[in-house]
C-alpha cells in the first residue's frame, strides 16, 4: 500500500483523478499561498474539492490552506481520515444558516453546501429553502467581509425547470417553467433565489462570484451515503440485481464526471464574469433515464441484469424531480478553456471500481 493511501487517500480511481487534475492545465498559480474556504465539505463535491487541493499541495507544493466547513466533526473524520492530521487543512464546524465567524484570511470560497436528497426536499421544503437562502447569504457576507479574490456558488441544472422542448441546447439564459405549487420546487426555486442573490452581491458589493450550474455529477469518490439514481444503478450492477424504475424513465438526464466538474470549479475560481452563471455538463452523456438504465444493464453488467418497471399510482413520496426534456449546452464554460473528458460508460466503470473496493 502506497504512502499516499496510508496518509488517508483511497486506493482508488479518485486518487488517480486528483493527480490528473494536479498535472492538468489549471492555472494553480492563482491559488498558491492562498486560503480556500469550502462549504459542504462532507458532500461529494466539497470533499472531492478539498482532497483535490490537498493533492495539489502534495504534488505541486502550492502552500494552500484549506478550511473545510462542515456541520459534523464525526462525519468529516470518517471522510478525511488521517488527512485531517496534516497542517494544510482545518475544520470549521458550524451551520451556515448562522453567520460564519472565521477570523483568519480567506482568499477563495467554494460554496457547495446544499440539501441534495429529494426525499428531504419533499418532507422538509421549508428547511430546504431556508438552508439555501440564508446559508448563501451568510457565505456572500463572508466573501464581502474578507474581500475574497473569487467565490464559486454551486448551483444546479434544476434552475431551468421545464424549458422550451424545441431548443437544441439549453443555454444559461433559457430559464423555463417551475411549478411553485409543487413542494419539490423548494430546491429549484431555492437555487434560483440564491443565484439572484449572487448577482445582487456582485452588482452592489462587487463580490467576485461566479455560479456553476452543474449537471448531475457522479464518478470516482461518490460517498457511501449517496443513494441517487446513478448510485442505485451502480449498486444493481455490483450485486447483479435487476434495475427497477418507478417511473417511465423518459426524463432526460445531463451528466458530468467528478474530475471534469472539479476542473470547471477550479477555473471559475479565478476566471469568468462576475455575477454570471455557467453550465457544467458533458453534452455527449445526455440521455433518458431509461436509456442510462439499459446502458448499465447491458454494458456495465455485461447483460447479467435487466431493467424492470414498477410504477406506483403516485411517485410523490419518492421526491423525483418533474420529467423534463432538456439538453444542456456547455459552450459558455468551454470558452473559458474547459473541456469535459470522461464519457458515461467510463464514469460508471470508475465509480464502480471505487465502490467495489470500498465494500471489500
Residue 134 has pLDDT above 60, yes or no: yes
Average pLDDT, the chain: 92
Quote the pTM value.
Answer: 0.92
Residue 35 has pLDDT above 60, yes or no: yes
Residue-range domain boundaries for the chain: 3-219+254-284+326-344
Q: Identify the pLDDT of residue 42.
A: 96
Tell me, rounded to whole angstroms, the distance of Cα 39 from its chain centroid: 12
Residue 140 has pLDDT above 70, yes or no: yes
Residue 313 has pLDDT above 70, yes or no: no
Q: Identify the pLDDT of residue 85.
A: 96
Residue 195 has pLDDT above 90, yes or no: yes
Contact of 167 with 174, CB cutoff 8 Å? yes
Pairing mode of beta strands 252-257, 282-288: antiparallel
CATH of the domain spanning 3-219+254-284+326-344, picked from 3.30.365.10, 3.30.930.10, 3.40.50.150, 3.40.50.720: 3.40.50.720
Q: Identify the pLDDT of residue 324.
A: 76
The mean pLDDT of 100-104, rounded to a whole number, is 96
Contact of 38 with 90, CB cutoff 8 Å? no
Contact of 35 with 147, CB cutoff 8 Å? no
- Cα–Cα distance between 17 and 350 in angstroms, integer? 10
- Cα–Cα distance between 244 and 264 in angstroms, integer? 33
322-348 pLDDT, tens digit per residue, is: 677 899 999 999 999 999 999 999 999
- pLDDT-derived band at 225 (thresholds 50, 70, 90) equals confident
Contact of 227 with 290, CB cutoff 8 Å? no
Q: Identify the pLDDT of residue 321.
A: 61
At residue 183, what are phi and psi to the nearest 5 degrees?
A: -60, -25
**What is the helix, strand, coil percentage profile of the chain, to 5?**
45, 20, 40
Q: Identify the pLDDT of residue 3.
A: 35
Residue 360 has pLDDT above 70, yes or no: no
Residue carrying C-alpha cell 440564491:
194
Cell reading at 202: 456582485
State whether residue 65 is helix, strand or coil: strand
DSSP 149-191: SEEEEEEEGGGG-B--TT-SSB-TT---B--TTSTTHHHHHHH
Cell reading at 14: 479518485
- Cα–Cα distance between 239 and 228 in angstroms, integer? 17
The mean pLDDT of 133-137, rounded to a whole number, is 97
Q: What percent of the chain has pLDDT over 90?
A: 84
240-289 pLDDT, tens digit per residue, is: 999 999 888 888 889 999 999 999 999 999 999 999 999 999 999 999 99
144-191 pLDDT, tens digit per residue, is: 999 999 999 999 999 999 999 899 999 999 999 999 999 999 999 999
- Cα–Cα distance between 340 and 282 in angstroms, integer? 6
1-25 pLDDT, tens digit per residue, is: 233 333 444 458 999 999 999 999 9
Amino acid at each position: 500500500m502506497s504512502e499516499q493511501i496510508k496518509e488517508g487517500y483511497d486506493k482508488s480511481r479518485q486518487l488517480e483523478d486528483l493527480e490528473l487534475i494536479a498535472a492538468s492545465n489549471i492555472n494553480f498559480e492563482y491559488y498558491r499561498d492562498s486560503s480556500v474556504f469550502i462549504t459542504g465539505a462532507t458532500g461529494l463535491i466539497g470533499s472531492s474539492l478539498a482532497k483535490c487541493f490537498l493533492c495539489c499541495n502534495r504534488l505541486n507544493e502550492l502552500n494552500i490552506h484549506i478550511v473545510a466547513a462542515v456541520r459534523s466533526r464525526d462525519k468529516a473524520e470518517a471522510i478525511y481520515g488521517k488527512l485531517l492530521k496534516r497542517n494544510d487543512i482545518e475544520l470549521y464546524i458550524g451551520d451556515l444558516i448562522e453567520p460564519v465567524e472565521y477570523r483568519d484570511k480567506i482568499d477563495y470560497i467554494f460554496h457547495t453546501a446544499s440539501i441534495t436528497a429529494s426525499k428531504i426536499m419533499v418532507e422538509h421544503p421549508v428547511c430546504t429553502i431556508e438552508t439555501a437562502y440564508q446559508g448563501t447569504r451568510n457565505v456572500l457576507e463572508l466573501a464581502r467581509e474578507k474581500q475574497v479574490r473569487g467565490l464559486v456558488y454551486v448551483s444546479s441544472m434544476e434552475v431551468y425547470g421545464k424549458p422550451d422542448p424545441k431548443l437544441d441546447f439549453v443555454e444559461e439564459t433559457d430559464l423555463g417553467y417551475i411549478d411553485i405549487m409543487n413542494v419539490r420546487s423548494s430546491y429549484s426555486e431555492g437555487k434560483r433565489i440564491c443565484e439572484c442573490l449572487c448577482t445582487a452581491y456582485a452588482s452592489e458589493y462587487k463580490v467576485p462570484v461566479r455560479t456553476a450550474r452543474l449537471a448531475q455529477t457522479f464518478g470516482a469518490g461518490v460517498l457511501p451515503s449517496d443513494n441517487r439514481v446513478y448510485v442505485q444503478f451502480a449498486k444493481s450492477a455490483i450485486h447483479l440485481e435487476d434495475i427497477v424504475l418507478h417511473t417511465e424513465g423518459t426524463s432526460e438526464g445531463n451528466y458530468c464526471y467528478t474530475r471534469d466538474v472539479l476542473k470547471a470549479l477550479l477555473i471559475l475560481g479565478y476566471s469568468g464574469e462576475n455575477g454570471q452563471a455557467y453550465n457544467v455538463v458533458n453534452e455527449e452523456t445526455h440521455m433518458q433515464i431509461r436509456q442510462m438504465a439499459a446502458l448499465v444493464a447491458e454494458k456495465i453488467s455485461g447483460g447479467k441484469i435487466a431493467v424492470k418497471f414498477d410504477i406506483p399510482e403516485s411517485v410523490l413520496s419518492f421526491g423525483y424531480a418533474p420529467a423534463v426534456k432538456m439538453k444542456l449546452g456547455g459552450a459558455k464554460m468551454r470558452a473559458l478553456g474547459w473541456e469535459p473528458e470522461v464519457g458515461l460508460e467510463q464514469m460508471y466503470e470508475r465509480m464502480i471500481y471505487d465502490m467495489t473496493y470500498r465494500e471489500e
